[in-house]
Amino acid sequence: MDAIDEWQRIREQREKERLNREQLLKRSRDDEQKNEEEENANKRAKLLEERIRLATKKPEEEQVELDPDQIANIERSKMSLLQKTKKLREQEPILTEKEREEQMEKTILDVESARAPLAPVKQLASGVMFDQVDSSLIHSTRWKPPRQFASMSEMEADSLRRKYRIEVIGEKVPPPIPSFRCMRFPPPIIQALRAKHIKKPTPIQTQALPVVLCGRDLIGIAFTGSGKTLVFSLPMIMYALAEEIKMPLAKGEGPFGVIICPSRELAYQTHQVICQILSFFDQDYPKLNCMLCMGGGASSRDAQAPPTSSAYHMVVATPGRFMHLLSEKKIHLKQCKYIALDEADHLIDTGFEEDIRAIFDYLPPDKPRQTVLFSATMPEKIRRFAEQSLTRPITVNVGRAGAANLDVVQEIEYVKQEAKMVYLLQCLQKTAPPVLIFCENKSDVDDIHEYLLLKGVEVCSIHGGKTQSERLDAIDRFRDQTKDVLVATDVASKGLDFPNVQHVINYDTPREIENYVHRIGRTGRRGKTGLATTFVNNTQCSEAILMDLKHLLMEARQVVPSFMMQMGEQQEMNVGYRVGGQRSVCSYCSGPGHSIINCPKREREKNEQFRKISATDSGLGGGDY
């Protein structure tokens, strides 16, 4: 029994050993297979990698040799930070004083123009910029130049442009047309122009009207009083007329076009110009309405209620009020294809940029539209800004942007601060009325107004502290010549058109040369000559403005007083003006006597931003207007 048990035990033992051996053998076979599979997978991955590398290999990668930059990079990576800085300093090009200054100007300008361009938010969000949009988004009108002009060769067109000193930039520029009749305006418009003694287009109108009538975007630059208002008003009327004939507007509908102005006074004036023209449309033509939309509450007597009971084909507006109506959905821009920005530099430059951007956002992003920008001055910053925001715009330029009107005789007089008021009375004798007196501050306007009233002068005044009704009343009374003298802050310096102003007196020198150009531009309009007298003294004038003034006078071939002439090279260098240099205007404000580095306008705007003074719809930006 024991032997049998023993035998049984040995058998079981052997059987166990055999099973273990088999298991071990199987495991080792499995491992081998696994290894083989892994090896194959690795081989396949390597093969694939190699194929990808070969397929995507750039020719230069085939070179095994490293290029000098790669070597330098490797070397640089081994360096300490101090060594790297030293090396970079050594590699910096040695710039001359002038080159360094130019580089600095470029950097400042790049920073200043780096803000996002004007475009509907929807368009910006989808990454579509106006200059990249297809031509189906360009507003097209039915207007065509008459055959004799359409068939004009480019050479003929250029020679006509040279004759009128017109400069154009852009593709496929329509020909200049020196006749309103040839511009195919309907009889009521021609009659309305005749009634205002407007028979022949001014140079800016000769070229810019065909551009806008064709439906192209425009950047218009021309000196003060050269008739820019008609360039953006007449095409809007023509477009509204064509649309109304095609499909009359129902109650509450419209507008087809909008003009945005930076001040209520300017909006009021432009609205009047359009209404005067519309009053010549007889029963043979559809009735067109133009709404004036501006702030100022109940006092803004001509401002209309939003269109619920009637249709408005056109709107002239200030940005703040217009934005308000848009946001309250009291007005919409679904049918609007035409938008004009008067004094665009001023609108965009000051606190209105955000309002303008918001207004653009209400325009349908996928429909064609036409944008027209106009200004008497067009600093580089605004030009860049506008070029980014328009569709293949055409720039029409008559004279240097920011240059003074050559029809104005400019006189500069040194008057001590305490003698100014008395001398003012004497100065008023220089010409017959009407005379405009400009001051920087509201309190000076009030003082002069009171003083002249006491002296028996028929005088009225305007500044930002007065009610809207008082402001418009003063403008009307000066315009209809019931008053001989208007004393004003810069609220009246931009764009306002008074007939036959004989003399503009700058009681104090404006802080910026742009304002000087606008102020003196209130005279010498419609081709007539005018006189401008500016009081200067050393208590109130900055060196930069005096240098600007000196160069502006020289450019306009005016007499430069000897004390200004003596402002020598050293002072010119102090304010950054390069005598004999190629560039002689500030790329920020077009001032001819300083550079962007020490631009008084930039300085003021920076300070204003710092103090968080934002412009309101009350007039012209911040400041003591």
Ligand X SMILES: Nc1ncnc2c1ncn2[C@@H]1O[C@H](COP(=O)(O)OP(=O)(O)OP(=O)(O)O)[C@@H](O)[C@H]1O
Q: Least Å distance between CB 486 and ligand X?
A: 15
CB of 428 to ligand X, least distance (A): 23
For ligand X, which is the closer residue by CB, 224 or 558?
224
Find the shortest distance in angstroms from Cβ 550 to ligand X: 23
Least Cβ distance, residue 229 to ligand X (angstroms): 3
Which residues make beta-bridge pairs with 253? none
Distance CA 229, CA 374 (A): 9
Give the amino acid at 407: D
* Residue closer to ligand X (CB basis): 84 or 196: 196
Closer residue to ligand X in complex, CB, 376/378 = 376
Query: What are the angstrom distances between the C-alpha of 618 and each of 316, 336, 468?
Result: 16, 26, 9
Distance CA 589, CA 576 (A): 14
Q: Residues 588, 594, 600, 603: what is their CA dihedral angle, to the nearest 10 degrees? A: 70
| Beta carbon nearer to ligand X, 208 or 415 | 208
Q: How far is the CB of 196 from ligand X (least distance, A)?
A: 5
Nearer to ligand X, 367 or 477 (CB): 477
Beta strands 257-260 and 314-317, pairing class: parallel
State the pairing for strand pair 394-398/166-169. antiparallel
Total residue count of the chain as it appears in this document? 625
Distance CA 482, CA 56 (A): 83
Give the C-alpha separation, 286 to 79, whole Å: 80
Compute, in degrees rounded to 10, the torsion defined by CA atoms 536, 538, 543, 544. Answer: -30
Q: Which residues of 389-423 are buried (b: 16+ CB within 10 A; e: fewer)?
A: bbbebbbbbbbbbbbbbebbbbbbeebeeeebeeb
Residue 531 vs 547, nearer CB to ligand X = 531
- Supply the minimum distance, in Å, between the C-beta of residue 376 and ligand X: 4
Please say which residue, 187 or 527, places its beta carbon nearer to ligand X: 527
Closest residue to ligand X in the complex (CB): 227
Residue 591 CA to residue 577 CA, distance in Å, equals: 10
CA 421 to chain centre: 38
Residue 550: name the closest of 585, 593, 513 by CA.
Answer: 593
**Nearer to ligand X by C-beta: 318 or 391?**
318
To the nearest whole angstrom, how small is the minimum distance from the Cβ of residue 270 to ligand X? 9
Q: For the chain, what is the radius of gyration of the CA atoms?
A: 36
Residues near ligand X, by CB under 6 A: 196, 198, 200-202, 205, 222, 224-230, 376, 495, 497, 521, 525-526
221 vs 293 by CB, closer to ligand X: 221
Least distance CB 134 / ligand X (angstroms): 33
CB of 603 to ligand X, least distance (A): 25
